Structure 1
Amino acid sequence: MKRIIINLIVILLAQQFSAAAAFGDETCELNREMEHQCRSYTYSVVKPMLDYLRQVGEDLLKSESKDRIIKELREKLVQQEMNDALIKELRSEIDFQKRIDSLSTNSKLIENYAKCKDELASKSIKLGILDAQLSKLNSKEITKINTSKNDKSEFEDLKVKMVDKSNKLEVCEVQLMKLNASLIEKDKSISIYMQRSTMCQNKNKKIELQLKDRETKLVDKENYRQMCQAEIDKLNKTVYNNIPSSCFPYAENPGVHKIEVSGFGFINVVCNSQIAGPGWIVIQQRVGGSESFDRDWATYRKGFGSMDSDFFLGLEKIHRLTNSRRHELYLHLVARDDTKFYTRYDDFKISDEDTGYALSLGKFEGNVVDVFSYHEHMKFSTFDRDNDMATFNCASVLNSGWWYKSCVSCNLNDLWDRLRWTSLELKEAKMLIRPKL
């Protein structure tokens, strides 16, 4: 449009110049002397027009240069907008990489990784489409940017922003390359993991089969064990139905036998028929001096020693026996000169553990002084369970458990070298019980 206006101005100036020249020539033909004046007149008429034309041409050139600069700036601005969009896409890809890094090594996460990888491929295609669209931008849209006096400063600002965003784009490109390399490594790791996972699954299946086989064998063994136990219980029931609850049936065959204690079960006891007749159970015996009777509460409760030598049957067993029915107690004493003594009590029993296995004797009979009655109603004491009436622990001082009072008149559990019945030194002592007839 500007070029058309300039052409019209030139044509008008040319016409005026031609008219002026024709007029000058016509006048000058009449008066040659006026030639110089005509030329001066013509120059004075044309010169302002020429100056104006030159000024318009310069302005036109400046305007065209300015338009080119604005056009370039607009193109760069559009390109920068495209770069911003690309940077945004790259940031999304970086976030996507972070999600990939958080993937764990299980099959479900592997599937998620594959989906994310497909998303990355799809976004790469979108970036390609975006680049194609950038090349097809309509230049007419660029002309909509308004020109102003601050175009130069705006251009500088745009240039600075362009450099900054270009640097950011380069950083994003580097990150994208690292992301691609990381994805390749992830693919390799996942491949190795899947191989190992397959191997583990096969191994697990094998182990499961072995486990099922062993479980089947265990069930079979348990069934067989239960069947055997049922047979054993049946045999035991048949055998133990004939087991007595005292030593009377073994009168002709003394020694170690099994008897049944009500509420307790079957126990082994020493049956004695030689000392005071049939049916006696030996609950304590001192015949050899090899066994220590300095024992704690738990050992006295359970019993200890050897039935063919020194032993103590056990407080709990004695309690169960003597509380199932009435028993009598017989003490067999042999002095060092082989003189034999005895004492007999018609209602012997001891209480349960909660009441300290307290002693009851009943009426006395014997050929020696009754010193055992001094201990009646006393609880049993050991070095770790002081139940006596003394200010100290008698069991700790006398190195044995007994029904101490303060402390003793007799102690058949004393040390072997000081075993006494008052002033009587003993080399043998036995305590026997049997049901009261």
Structure 2
Amino acid sequence: MLKKPLSTVTWLCIFILVFVSHPVWPQKPPKRKTPGQLKAAACCEEVKELKAQIANLSSLLSELSKKQEKDWVSVVMQVMELESNTKRMESRLTEAEGKYSEMNNQIDIMQLQAAQTVTQTSADAIYDCSSLYQKNYRISGVYKLPPDDFLGSPELEVFCDMEMAGGGWTIIQRRKSGLVSFYRDWKQYKQGFGSIRGDFWLGNEHIHRLSRRPTRLRVEMEDWEGNVRYAEYSHFVLGKAEEDRREDRQGMSGKWLMRKVSMRE
């Protein structure tokens, strides 16, 4: 006997019957929160908001602190630059004042020398700074000594110290700034080198010329703290080149410790 397949309607009826016959689970009504729970929830929200605000404030303070630190560093750098510029300006001002004073001294010296006629053969002949001092030249600075006809030496530019130890000293060496090297050969020491207004060696030929007359020698040395020591010789002569520049010093006095060597009659 053939079985007929169930029709679609039959299956639908069975499904509906099964679905309808399935018991429905009872649903519990939602619990109502108590006032305490509601209050606690509200507090938690407030705490979260406060934490967020604190985090934002901390971030803002950190940014402000970094900016303030950068600004402070910038201010410090500007102050240091201003101090450096001020020191440079003060140094330039001091240098300018020194040059101005030196120029005035040089003008006075030129006027004094122009006011007098210097004759090498007269009793008033000028041989060195001591001769100028005896003619009432009292300004320290650069002077020009007339030619020495006996030696055939040309006009000589020298620096005269009219204040040290009674005045009238002819500076033959100054070594203070360290800008001039004194490691030279014999020819350079013979002719002289450096700047007469700075560090220099006057030259063996010129020193021989100056020491032909009775001459005193004074050597001064100064340390970094300004302490000065000196030695003074009552008699000094530097010989000719043919005599291998024999040096004669006698009668030392003083107290030994810029190095400056000067001589006068």
Structure number with bigger Rg: 1
More strand by percentage: 2
- Identify the structure with bigger relative contact order (alpha carbons < 8 Å, sequence gap 6+): 2
More helix by percentage: 1
